[in-house]
């Protein structure tokens, strides 16, 4: 069975000791670091931008998976040219998605297209050949710590089937509500990357313990 990549999201980490929180994820066996950029417009919250991502780039060698929850994401891409490994943009704010994915690839980055729970898979169908990753939101974006909308895993399976039928190489990443109790199901539905926010950064256990438990529950 293929290795399931775990991508902790720092959204519920302690921002007062963020560098240590990121180092803990790397030491604990994370594969990727997921970074949620929110603009207060596409989603209600505002988180952080390129400056913080540049700061974190110096404290870890984990690949950076950038999740742009912003309007006009194409205007921000260049700011992450030296830091991100994958740049994910939402279909809901990308009328020219193929041009945006192309611009991301021209920077030498992996290009991801994200789809909200309320958006039909048909919206991304024409972009699948141009994407390195499809990020399926299993919550309505904006906050960490929400419950996964279970029906969205069925959507993951449909996208997996579309990718396989077309012979496209894009990976599927699941973002939202991934926990010990559903991580194996995420992998079975066809994801190869899972974002884990509050299931990694919480008050109950250490980052390393949480990653180990998620890994064990995934069974791969």
Binding site for Zn ion (CB under 5 A): 36, 67, 175
> Residue 131 or 136: which CB sits closer to ligand DX5?
136
CB of 132 to ligand DX5, least distance (A): 18
The CA dihedral of 111, 148, 201, 51, to the nearest 10 degrees, is 30
The listed partner (ligand DX5, Zn ion, none) that binds 70, CB under 5 to 8 Å by sort, is none
Question: Which residue sits closest to ligand DX5, CB atoms considered?
Answer: 197
> Residue 40 or 142: which CB sits closer to ligand DX5?
142
Binding site for ligand DX5 (CB under 6 A): 9, 11, 34, 36, 67, 139, 141-142, 144-146, 175-178, 195-199
> Residue 67 or 109: which CB sits closer to Zn ion?
67
As a whole number of angstroms, the distance between CA 131 and CA 114 comes to: 10
Residue whose C-alpha is closest to residue 77's, from 40, 96, 36, 105: 105
- For residues 54 and 75, the answer to whether their CB atoms sit within 8 Å is no
Question: Which residue sits closest to Zn ion, CB atoms considered?
Answer: 67
Residues belonging to the active site: 36, 175
Around Cβ 27, how many Cβ atoms within 10 Å?
A: 12
For residue 56, give Cα distances in angstroms to 44, 49, 52, 138: 24, 11, 6, 26
């Amino acid at each position: 069975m293929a290795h399931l990549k775990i991508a902790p999201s720092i959204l519920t980490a302690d921002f007062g000791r963020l560098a240590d929180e990121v180092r803990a994820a790397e030491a604990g066996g994370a594969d990727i670091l997921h970074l949620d950029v929110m603009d207060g417009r596409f989603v209600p919250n505002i988180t952080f931008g390129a400056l913080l991502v540049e700061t974190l780039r110096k404290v870890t060698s984990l690949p950076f998976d950038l999740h742009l929850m912003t309007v006009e994401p194409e205007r921000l891409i260049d700011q992450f040219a030296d830091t991100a490994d994958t740049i994910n943009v939402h279909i809901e704010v990308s009328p020219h998605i193929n041009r945006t994915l192309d611009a991301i690839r021209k920077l030498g980055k992996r290009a991801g297209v994200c789809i909200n729970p309320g958006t039909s898979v048909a919206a991304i169908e024409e972009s699948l050949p141009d994407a390195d990753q499809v990020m399926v939101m299993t919550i309505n974006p904006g906050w960490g710590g929400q419950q996964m909308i279970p029906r969205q895993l069925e959507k993951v399976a449909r996208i997996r089937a579309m990718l396989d039928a077309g012979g496209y190489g894009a990976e599927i990443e699941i973002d939202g509500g991934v926990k010990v109790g559903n991580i194996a199901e995420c992998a079975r539905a066809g994801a190869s990357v899972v974002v884990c926010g509050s299931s990694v950064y919480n008050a109950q256990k250490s980052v390393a313990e949480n990653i180990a438990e998620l890994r064990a529950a995934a069974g791969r």
